[in-house]
């Protein structure tokens, strides 16, 4: 039987919450969310998204924390410990596979961000025409060698942090990067909200355009909620497994959910005012932060500094998420296969790097991986986790994991209802729709 010391543990609730928020806040918030929102009805999408987060995301986050802390294991080991010999271990496996898939392309985007940090440091956007600036992204996206180089650097950074272990690597990395991220975000917010396009930008993000909402938007909102909250693949099971019994799960889940959602919206508050100040295209798709914003930076007063701050912020966000993706895979090999942490991190990180090569070379592979993860793997994982927690675990198994008034009776009943009925039905309906069944 493994004990906590040999696996590592958080130093306390702050370390854990910061790490979990670090996992949640990532490219999903600053790159995916503004994109999807701009293309799916602005405020209308934001409202649907917030509903998904509260009704489906929050209960599943609590379920993942609970499974992790109860078993003190990686996702595969956790399901094995709770229901030995049953097929539930496959849910854990699905998580490990999702970690592979997501990190392989996530790291490619992480690499783009690093490239843009360098471009910003070199003040490359200054006195360039919009066409030239947009061309920089096209040049990157069509250069396999450049993308592979940055993908490699990003993976190396991720591996080095994970090798450090739970407390000295992951926790320390988050302790440094997350406060910096919040600070940089505040600086950018003050800056962006004072630009001329602030009103138009906020209006674009928040004014509900219900006519743009389709059923697909709802699927997108749910997939985005899982992706952004790092749910459905055991990242939160893994982080929860390094928790001591004294930590309050409900409070922690609330902090993570609120923090993540706030940062997604605030990222929009930074991006769209800049876009509108310079009359750029707000629904520019994936190029929004790599093509559109640098055009704004090139024309803004102090744009050089702002661009450095902006891309550093995204680097921290991406790295703190990437380490949680790698940690899921590493924890499995450490716990179940008895590998050393350093060996597991280097070997698995290396394999993930190779798996990411096709995404770096072919845009279609990249898109398919992202679609596979957000539309299928994460919702399926989340569905199974909800069914497991709500229907397979007994009331005693669930209830005894909340210690000493950690959850009120009212909240417990509410959570049980959501996790048993609402979350699985919501995900199932959306799946069936996706498969064209209704
Ligand atoms: N939540 C991260 C983001 O928003 C991505 C992620 C997904 C991380 C799943 C871990 C697990 O960018």
Q: Is 75 in the pocket of ligand 1 (CB under 6 A)?
A: no
Alpha carbon of 369 to ligand 1 centroid (Å):
14
* 4 pLDDT higher than 50: no
Q: For the chain, what is the mean pLDDT?
A: 92
Looking at residue 281, its pLDDT comes to 83
Going by alpha carbons, the residue nearest to atom 11 of ligand 1 is 230
Ligand 1 closest atom vs CA 26: 12
* 407 pLDDT higher than 50: yes
Looking at residue 293, its pLDDT comes to 87
Q: Give CA–CA dist 50/62, Å, rounded.
A: 17
Q: Is 230 in the pocket of ligand 1 (CB under 6 A)?
A: yes
249 in Cβ contact with 77 (< 8 Å)? no
Mean pLDDT of 17-43: 92
| One-character DSSP codes across 407-436 | S-HHHHHHHHHIIIIIHHHHHHHHHHHHTT
60 in Cβ contact with 419 (< 8 Å)? yes
In this structure, what token pair is assigned to residue 278?
């310079």
Alpha carbon of 428 to ligand 1 centroid (Å):
22
Looking at residue 438, its pLDDT comes to 62
Q: Give CA–CA dist 406/402, Å, rounded.
A: 6
Alpha carbon of 396 to ligand 1 centroid (Å):
31
Report the b/e string of 156-180 with b at 16+ CB within 10 A.
Answer: ebbbebbbbbbeebbbbbbbebbee
Torsion sign over Cα 342, 344, 345, 349: positive
In this structure, what token pair is assigned to residue 280?
């750029």
Q: Is 16 in the pocket of ligand 1 (CB under 6 A)?
A: no
Q: Give CA–CA dist 121/252, Å, rounded.
A: 37
389 in Cβ contact with 232 (< 8 Å)? no
Ligand 1 closest atom vs CA 378: 9
Q: Give CA–CA dist 52/41, Å, rounded.
A: 16
Q: Is 377 in the pocket of ligand 1 (CB under 6 A)?
A: no
* 223 pLDDT higher than 70: yes
Q: Is 324 in the pocket of ligand 1 (CB under 6 A)?
A: yes
Instruction: Flag whether the pTM goes above 0.85.
Output: yes
**pLDDT (tens digit per residue) in 182-203:** 998 999 999 899 999 999 999 9
Residue 152 CA from chain centroid, whole number: 20
Looking at residue 57, its pLDDT comes to 95
* 146 pLDDT higher than 50: yes
* 87 pLDDT higher than 80: yes
Q: Is 257 in the pocket of ligand 1 (CB under 6 A)?
A: no
Q: Is 102 in the pocket of ligand 1 (CB under 6 A)?
A: yes
Alpha carbon of 227 to ligand 1 centroid (Å):
5
Q: Where are the alpha helices (DSSP H) in 164-291?
A: 172-192, 198-206, 215-228, 235-240, 249-277
Q: Give CA–CA dist 36/53, Å, rounded.
A: 15
Going by alpha carbons, the residue nearest to atom 9 of ligand 1 is 230
Residue 292 to residues 110, 111, 285, Cα–Cα distance (Å)? 18, 18, 10
Q: Is 325 in the pocket of ligand 1 (CB under 6 A)?
A: yes
* 3 pLDDT higher than 60: no
> CB under 8 Å to 32, separation ≥6 — which residues?
224, 227, 228
* 343 pLDDT higher than 60: yes
Q: Give CA–CA dist 314/121, Å, rounded.
A: 14
Ligand 1 closest atom vs CA 232: 9
| One-character DSSP codes across 215-232 | HHHHHHHHHHHHHHTT-S
Looking at residue 220, its pLDDT comes to 85
* 1 pLDDT higher than 60: no
Q: Is 141 in the pocket of ligand 1 (CB under 6 A)?
A: no
Going by alpha carbons, the residue nearest to atom 10 of ligand 1 is 230
């Amino acid at each position: 039987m493994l004990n906590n010391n040999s696996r590592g543990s958080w130093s306390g609730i702050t370390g854990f919450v910061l790490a979990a928020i670090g996992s949640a806040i990532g490219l999903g918030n600053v790159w995916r969310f503004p994109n999807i929102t701009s293309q799916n009805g602005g405020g209308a999408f934001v409202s649907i998204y917030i509903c998904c987060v509260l009704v489906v995301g929050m209960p599943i986050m609590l379920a993942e924390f609970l499974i992790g802390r109860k078993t003190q294991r990686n996702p595969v080991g956790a399901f094995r410990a709770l229901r030995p010999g049953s097929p539930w271990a496959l849910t854990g496996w699905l998580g490990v596979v999702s970690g592979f898939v997501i990190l392989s392309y996530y790291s490619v985007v992480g690499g783009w961000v690093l490239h843009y940090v360098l471009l910003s440091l070199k003040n490359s956007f200054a006195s360039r025409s919009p066409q030239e600036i947009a061309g920089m992204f096209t040049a990157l996206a069509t250069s396999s060698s450049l993308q592979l180089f940055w993908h490699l650097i990003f993976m190396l950074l991720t591996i080095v942090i994970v090798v450090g272990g739970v407390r000295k690597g992951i926790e320390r990395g988050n302790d440094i990067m997350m406060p910096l991220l919040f600070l940089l975000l505040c600086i950018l917010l003050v800056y962006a909200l004072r630009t001329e396009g602030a009103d138009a930008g906020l209006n674009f993000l928040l004014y509900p355009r219900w006519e743009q909402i389709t059923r697909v938007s709802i699927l997108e909102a749910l997939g985005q909620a899982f992706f952004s909250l790092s749910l459905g693949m055991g990242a939160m099971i893994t982080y929860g497994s390094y928790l001591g019994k004294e930590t309050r799960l409900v409070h922690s889940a609330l902090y993570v959910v609120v923090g993540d959602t706030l940062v997604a919206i605030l990222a929009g508050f930074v991006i769209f005012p800049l876009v509108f100040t310079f009359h750029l295209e707000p629904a520019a798709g994936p190029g929004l932060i790599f093509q559109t914003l640098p055009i704004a930076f090139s024309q803004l007063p102090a744009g050089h500094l702002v661009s450095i701050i902006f891309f550093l912020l995204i680097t921290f966000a991406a790295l703190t998420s990437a380490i949680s993706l790698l940690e899921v895979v590493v924890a499995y090999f450490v716990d179940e296969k008895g590998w050393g942490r350093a060996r597991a991190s280097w070997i698995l990180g290396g394999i993930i790097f190779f798996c990411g090569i096709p995404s770096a070379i072919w845009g279609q592979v990249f898109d398919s991986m992202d679609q596979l993860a957000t539309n299928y793997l994460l919702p399926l994982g989340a569905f199974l986790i909800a069914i497991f927690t709500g229907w397979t675990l007994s009331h005693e198994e669930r209830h005894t994991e909340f210690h000493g008034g950690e959850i009120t009776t009212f909240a417990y009943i509410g959570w049980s209802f959501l996790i048993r009925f609402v979350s699985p039905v919501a995900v199932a309906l959306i799946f069936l729709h996706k498969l064209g069944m209704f």
